[in-house]
Amino acid sequence: MLRTDEGGAGDVREGRPAAPNSTGSVRFRMTRNPLGRRILGAFLGNAFARAMRIVEQICLVPLLLSAWGIDRFGEWVALTAIATFAGLASLGIGHSAYSDIVIQSAKADRDAAARSFATAIVLITAIDLVGTALLAVFALTFDIRALFSLQTFSSTEAAWILLIVGLSVFVGFYIEPLSGAVGAARGAGISNFVAGVSKVVEIAAIAVALTVSASPIFIAAIILASVVLNAVVNLVLTARLAPWLPFHFGAADYETIRRTWKPALGFFCIFVCFNIINVQVPRLIVFHGFGAASLSIFAIYVTYTRAARNLACMIPQSSQVEIGRLFAEGKADRTRRLVETVAVAALGLGFALLVGALVAAPVVIPIWTHSSLSVPWDVLAALTLVALVGTYFDPMLIAAGAMNEMGRVASFYALGIAIGISAAILLMPVAGIAVVAGVCMLPPELAGALAATRTVESLIGRLHLSAGIGRLRGLLPR
């Protein structure tokens, strides 16, 4: 059994809930319940991290537009989108290790958690070395300007931006297993807070750099430095909060790979589909079919609507570690109630935020973009619908991920992407950005939401969102 004075996760002593209220829902006393305290801490840390990401998106769009102009900004978006394809090398190892470390710690199996951590670090290091070498050969050998039809960036600038941003992706692979170790020891709040602080540093550094006309290469270097800062701080925290974890390659073993390769493959497929194909491929389709200026418009409105989705996602993401703990301890009923509550809360918050975003768009968009753009309501409506479906999909995806079961979700999401992209390519010659974006991005969200719900229900029982509504009402102050 892991000892709680060493930051272990094996001794999970949950507080007693208050008596049921008149509606039958249970009001948990968050401040007296260790589970509630961890969720609250994770929520506050995640809220800070998410807020900083949204501030980054809100601040950097007008700053970069003002400094570079709409065409150069569009090509920057395209280049960074291409660089994120380096994430394909992750193979889902870090995400699977995050969940496995939490699950094994909750089972009080310190040795299995240690082997999972060490194995992930070894594999990530090997991937990073090979990936960095291949990326360097690609970026410095090929004419990136000609290859991607760039107009405002030189070949040298494009190559170095691609290399530096890609390297930041590789360094970021370490953050997941380190965050999993910190989360198993003290909950998810600390790592989320570290991520938020790293973003603050990044935003401030980019803002200062742009005031002195820093080059895009220098901006890319700031992004890399922020990721390195995040990883290093999590490394120090892991060494301090979980000193029993090994920092040598000898603890890695084949049995851990055999146990976790299927979840890793599922996480990898979801990452590829969600972060690469369904985010970056639509950008490249718009860039190819409509040009850099249209890509700028598309990216700005994706950022605007996704901000509401990201805020709503704070709720389920704050509960990810605790869902994994409860599931590992065999508490299916408690797990189901937690999933129901966070799903309803995320969907309700997302709906409210998206309605507010639509109402505020005529005022916010011109101010945000320095009157560079008007409000294309068709594009905004299509992306809002995608974001709304996503506010339900996200908590289901996070719950399935916390239980390390991603195969069905990945398969359905990939199928939805194939349908969406194929339809969008066929419609692109005769339709505008709104139709192309909606047709391309909506099917995978719907398919993923369906598959994730079925996966979660197969593990913890049928979900009843109405019960989650009643539970939320019980938590509200009277």
Are 385 and 438 spatial neighbours (Cβ–Cβ below 8 Å)? yes
pLDDT-above-70 percentage for the chain? 74
Direct distance between the N- and C-terminal alpha carbons of the chain, in angstroms, rounded to an integer: 40
Element (H, E) at 351: helix 332-368
Residue 31 or residue 408, greater confidence: 408
Please state the length of the chain.
478
Q: What's the average model confidence in pLDDT over 287-302?
A: 69
* 18 or 35, which is more confident: 35
pLDDT in tens, 227-270: 999 889 888 888 887 777 666 666 667 777 777 666 777 777 77
pLDDT at 17 over 60: no
Q: pLDDT for 129-141, tens place per residue?
A: 998 888 888 888 8
pLDDT score of 395 more than 80: yes
pLDDT at 325: 75
Is the pLDDT assigned to residue 323 strictly greater than 80? yes
Which tens digits make up the pLDDT trace of 164-177? 988 998 988 888 88
Token pair in block for residue 77: 């978006």
Give dist(CA 366, CA 62) in Å, integer.
10
Q: What is the pLDDT of residue 342?
A: 86
Distance CA 207, CA 29 (A): 42
Instruction: For residue 418, count other CB atoms closer than 10 A to its CB.
Output: 15
pLDDT at 404 over 60: yes
Q: Where is average pLDDT lowest: 109-123, 320-334, 364-378?
A: 364-378
Neighbour count for residue 255 (Cβ, 10 Å): 11
CB 176 within 8 A of CB 98: yes
Sequence-distant (6+) residues with CB within 8 A of 214 are: none
Q: Are 82 and 354 in contact (CB under 8 A)?
A: no
The C-alpha atoms of residue 100 and residue 192 are separated, in whole angstroms, by 19
Its sign, for the CA torsion 419, 425, 427, 431, is: positive
Q: 10 falls in which pLDDT band (50, 70, 90)?
A: very low
Alpha-carbon span 140 to 107, nearest angstrom: 48
Torsion of CA 234, 235, 239, 241, to 10 degrees: 10
